[in-house]
Chains A and B, each alone.
Chain A
Amino acid sequence: MAHITINQYLQQVYEAIDNHDGSFCAELLSFKHAHVANPRLQLSSPEEKCQQVLEVPYDEMVAAHLRCTYAVSNHDFVEAYKCQTLVVQYPYSVAQPFSLLSRALPVMFAVTLDLRIFANNAEQQLLKKGKGKQGDMLEKAAELLMGCFRVCASDNRAGIDDSKKWGMLFLINQLFKIYFKINKLHLCKPLIRAIDSSNLKDDYSMAQRVTYKYYVGRKAMFDSDYKPAEEYLSFSFQHCHRSSQRNKRMILIYLLPVKMLLGHMPSHQLLRKYDLMQFADVTKAVSEGNLLLLNEALAKHETFFIRCGIFLILEKLKIITYRNLFKKVYQLLKTHQLPLDAFLVALKMMQVDEVDIDEVQCILNYTDGKYMHKANPFPPLSSSS
């Protein structure tokens, strides 16, 4: 692949289209494939060559793709992005026999993935030069992807096997990645609704479903819907392929805080297995009711937690920590009516700054300590949250 001539390449493309071989065609247009490193294909004006071999509109599309390889070889990602937008816009607006089929979907997957990656790279390049706004190029890329998505979603052909609806989940996952990056999570909602109302939702490939549930789980976390978040992220974690350690770790980063909030602490083995020892101290602190350790653990790994966007959720673990602390006080004093001073002493021991007796009242309320006048002052966590 790395040594073929331009004519050989174009001939292969032509044949792939002719035989409706979507997967091979996708490879020939994808930047994951070796052909992009071939200098013979990196041309700045390949239009004439393409016209000689290919029909409209594929000639334009492939020409844009080749211009893109040229731009990438020069590390000009802004230009690469522009070329890729041409590649993406082409295949589905024209009524060609090949593009009508779902077999063309791999092509769409490949070119949209590259579009997102180039948008990212182009943005980084512009920002380094001091131009452009964060999120601009990605938003534009998202608009193009939405265009492709609409084409897929509105494909109401009778044969479900041939329908372009099978492309929906892949595109949605790409869009999720962009929306999370540019921090516009509210744009995810209509997409989630589209999948929920689709009857194909459980029939997509497992890989796509795992990615989908990962993002939906994260969104639920952001919206403070912890129960659904736990379901989605657990599904994602369980069904993520054993070999994708990196992905499993990423899912776990979000699953752990949610589980901890619901009262389930992770084991040390799990944390060690996935290299997430940042959570070790946090877990220990929460189960022991050790506020001091919790504050220290959060401060120590602050950068990591903030970058992942879970710092604020982990802070909510304070309520459980307070609760466990006060439970210990109760167990020590063994009475039903606990004087506020006892709690104050416990808090001071935890070096909680400037807490006075007035605040203790608020903290107790926050941890449902008002139950302390009843027989069982500390009902199990999951039932009261």
Chain B
Amino acid sequence: MNNRASRRISYSRRGHAVEREWRQKHNQGQWREAQETIEEEKKQDPVPRGTCLCMCPARELQRREAQNLLHRFEVLAGSEKDRRPRADPLRVVKEYARPAAGKDSTRPTDLRPPAVLLKTVCYLIDNIATSPTLQPWIDVYDFVFDRLRSVRQDMIIQRVSGPDCVAILERIVRFLIYASYRLCGEPLRLYDPRINDIHLQESLSWLLECYTRGQHPNQEEFQALSLLYNLGSGRATQHTMELPERIRSSSVVCLALSLSRAFMERNPVRLLRLARKLDFLQSCALHRHLQACRRDLLLIYSHGHSSRNCHFPLHKLADLLALDVRLTTCLCQAYGVVIIRDAVVFSKTSFTEPDVGRLQCPNFHELVENKQSGLTIGGIIHGCA
């Protein structure tokens, strides 16, 4: 830049010459240094590009095999019972590792490029998540969840974006939504819905952010899923309202918006009616809101139809709740709603909140379950169901 050496003395005469000169040199130096460091850093910090063409970098495979840290889904068939099982290079997948000070997570040989990441995700879905032989599914979920987290980490380090990123994230989101339904009700020590939720929300926001640039064929599907999963959230609703006309007026987003409106207007009858029109994955996304919805319906009807000679037909209530008669009876009992023979006697005094834990959500998964028939999990997650 400028030649500072031949600096002429400034015309300002105030202050002590010596002090001023010292300050000038000191501040100049600092300022100059700061500028130079920034420029250097920029040159040295290009985006890392992975070169590992396998699902797991060789270094990690050897390390984990030597230290007996392979997962049972990764060992060579026949060597499971050995003292130190052998790794099957076609089945070992890079695991998630927390970034740590001093650890270099940007070595190209340890990073998988986007094409390999997509292949890894497909392997995890086709060979692990949907495998009929690997049991129990909670273990399958743990393994896939961790390995998908590592895939996301590789994507972040390499700042992957665009169609590659979208293809991977879409599958991750579908998997996590499906898991939130399938593992609903499992004991907390085995499955924590909050952790699944955190990762699902992260992946969803990233995906929706990718959608803001370029054209993506599945965008409507995921905008709808996002709204359904986050039903009631002002932010999610406002985001959906601000989508371009073409996407907002697509049938799938319209349906999601109608459901959202029914939820905001506290109209559980309409919500449950509309919920019947959702497909399987959409129902999975919605399902965690259904319990509150059904509770609202029973509460509203307990107050609205409250009378001593109330004779509300049980089968009609079952229809409104989108449950069969047996489950409706169960639900009513839990909420203190009285049933005599095949009529419901609503009364605002008898409605009570059930004890915590009394109502098990999975018992009421009927609405969602029925939509699954004829679909394969693989098809659902890849989006070709």
**A363 lies within 8 A of chain B by Cβ:** yes
Q: A318 at interface (Cβ–Cβ under 8 A)?
A: yes
B1 to A, closest residue via Cβ:
A47
Across the interface, do B10 and A55 meet the contact criterion of CB distance under 8 Å?
yes
Contacts of A359 in B (CB 8 A): 267, 269-270
Residues of A within 8 A of B31 (CB): 57, 60
Distance A297 CA – B218 CA, assembled complex (angstroms): 32
Give chain B nearest CB distance to A94 CB in angstroms: 7
Indicate if B184 sits at the interface (CB-CB under 8 A).
Answer: no
- Known contacts A134-B212, A362-B266, A362-B267: does B238 contact A370 (CB below 8 Å)? no
Q: Are B267 and A363 in contact (CB under 8 A)?
A: yes
B265 CB contact (under 8 Å) in A47, A134, A309, A319: A319
Interchain CA distance A312-B265 in the complex, whole Å: 11
Closest to B304 in A: A361
What string of 1s and 0s marks CB contacts (under 8 Å) between A171-191 and chain B?
000000000000000000000
A51 at the interface (CB under 8 A from B): yes
Q: Does B81 contact A (CB under 8 A)?
A: no
Q: Does B189 reach chain A (CB closer than 8 Å)? A: no
Partner of A306, one of B209, B241, B269, B301: B241
Which single residue of chain A is at the shortest CB-CB distance from B10?
A55
Q: Which of B22-30, B67-75, B93-101 contacts A (4 or more CB under 8 A)?
A: B22-30
Contacts of B2 in A (CB 8 A): 45, 47-48
- The proximity string for A residues 77-105 relative to B, scoring 1 for CB distances below 8 Å and 0 otherwise, is 00000000000000000100000000000
1/0 per residue, CB under 8 A from B, across A347-385: the answer is 000000000001101111110001000000000000000
Question: Is the CB–CB distance between A365 and B266 below 8 Å?
Answer: yes
Q: Main secondary structure on chain A at its contact with chain B?
A: helix
Q: Which of B14, B20, B238, B267 meets A312, CB within 8 Å? A: B238
A358 to B191, CA, bound (A): 38
Q: How far is the CB of A178 from chain B (nearest CB, A)?
A: 18
The CA of A362 and the CA of B305, in the complex, are separated in Å by 11
Question: Nearest residue in B to A11 (C-beta to C-beta)?
Answer: B11
Nearest CB on B from A113, distance (A): 24
CB distance from A384 to the nearest CB of B (A): 15
Interface residue? A31 (CB, 8 A): no
Contact B264 A315 (CB under 8 A): yes
Question: Which residue of A48, A52, A55, A94 is within 8 Å of B20 (Cβ)?
Answer: A55
Within 8 A of B (CB), among A290-345: 306, 309, 311-312, 315-316, 318-319
Residues of B near A194 (CB, < 8 A) are none
Q: List 30 A-B contacts (CB under 8 A).
A: A14-B11, A45-B2, A47-B1, A51-B7, A51-B8, A51-B10, A52-B10, A54-B10, A55-B12, A57-B27, A60-B31, A130-B213, A224-B234, A306-B241, A311-B241, A312-B238, A312-B264, A315-B264, A358-B269, A359-B269, A361-B269, A361-B304, A361-B305, A362-B267, A362-B270, A362-B297, A363-B265, A365-B304, A370-B303, A370-B304
* Other-chain residue from A60, A309, A362 in contact with B268 (beta carbon distance below 8 A): A362
Tell whether, in the assembled complex, residue B320 and residue A312 are in contact, meaning their CB atoms are under 8 Å apart. no
Instruction: Kindly report which residue of chain A lies nearest to residue B213, judged by CB atoms.
Output: A130
Instruction: Tell me if B237 counts as interface (CB < 8 A to partner A).
Output: yes
Q: Which residue numbers of B lie inside 8 Å of A, CB to CB?
A: 1-2, 7-8, 10-12, 14, 20, 23-24, 27-28, 31, 209, 212-213, 234, 237-238, 241-242, 261, 264-270, 297, 300-301, 303-305, 320
User: B237: which A residues are within 8 A, CB to CB?
Assistant: 312
| Chain B residues, CB < 8 A from A57 | 27, 31
Point out the residue from A47, A48, A319, A361 that lies within 8 Å of B301, measured CB to CB.
A361
Cα-based distance from A306 to B11 in the complex (angstroms): 58
3 A-B pairs with the lowest CB-CB distances in the bound complex, closest first: A362-B267, A365-B300, A361-B304
Q: How far is the CB of B210 from chain A (nearest CB, A)?
A: 10
Extra contacts, 10 of them, besides A306-B241, A312-B238 (Cβ < 8 A), are: A18-B14, A53-B10, A60-B31, A224-B234, A312-B264, A316-B264, A358-B269, A362-B266, A362-B297, A370-B303
A34 within 8 A of partner (CB):
no
B73 to chain A, nearest CB (A): 37
- Check A56 for interface membership: any CB of B closer than 8 A: yes
A306-B241, A315-B261 known; A366 and B8 CB under 8 Å? no
Docked Cα-Cα span, A222 to B234, in Å, equals 8
Chain B residues lying within 8 Å of A47, measured Cβ to Cβ, are 1-2
CB neighbours of B267 from chain A (8 A): 359, 362-363, 366
B24 interface neighbour in A56, A224, A318, Cβ under 8 Å: A56
Q: A306–B267 Cα gap in the complex (Å)?
A: 23
**Distance (whole angstroms) from the CB of B275 to the closest CB of chain A:** 14
Chain B residues, Cβ within 8 Å of A309: 238
On chain B, the residues within 8 Å of A316 by CB distance are 264
Q: Is the CB of B268 within 8 A of A56?
A: no
Interface membership of chain A positions 47-68, coded 1 if the CB is closer than 8 angstroms to chain B and 0 otherwise: 1100111111100100000000
Q: Which of B8, B27, B241 contacts A56 (CB 8 A)?
A: B27
Contact A362 B23 (CB under 8 A): no
Contact A365 B303 (CB under 8 A): yes
A362 to B241, CA, bound (A): 25
Smallest CB separation, A189 vs chain B (Å): 15
Determine the chain B residues whose CB is within 8 A of the CB of A222 once the complex forms: 234
Residues of B contacting A94 with CB < 8 Å?
27
Which residues of B lie under 8 Å from residue A361 when comparing CB positions? 269, 300-301, 304-305
Residues of B within 8 A of A133 (CB): 209
Which of A55, A60, A362, A370 has the most C-beta atoms of chain B within 10 angstroms of its own C-beta?
Answer: A362
Determine the residue in chain A with the shortest Cβ distance to B239. Answer: A183
Residues on A with C-beta less than 8 A from B7 are 51
Which residues of chain A are within 8 angstroms of B1 by Cβ–Cβ distance? Answer: 47
User: How far does the alpha carbon of A359 sit from the alpha carbon of B301 in the complex, in Å?
Assistant: 10
Residues of chain B within 8 A (CB-CB) of A60 are: 31
> Using Cβ atoms and an 8 Å threshold, which residues of chain A touch B320?
358
In the complex, residue of chain B having the shortest beta-carbon distance to the beta carbon of A47: B2
Closest chain B CB from A348 CB (angstroms):
15
- Shortest CB–CB separation between residue B123 and chain A, in angstroms? 31
A130 to B303, CA, bound (A): 57
Expressed in whole angstroms, the minimum distance between the Cβ of B230 and any Cβ of chain A is 14
Q: Give the residue of A52, A130, A362, A370 whose beta carbon is less than 8 angstroms from that of B269.
A: A362
Q: Which residue of B lies closest to A53 (CB)?
A: B11
Q: How far is the CA of A358 from the CA of B320 in the complex (A)?
A: 8
Q: Mark A267-301, 1 if CB is under 8 A from B, else 0.
A: 00000000000000000000000000000000000
Interchain nearest-CB distance for B336 vs A (Å): 18
A306 to B245, CA, bound (A): 12
Report the nearest B residue to A366, measured CB to CB: B266
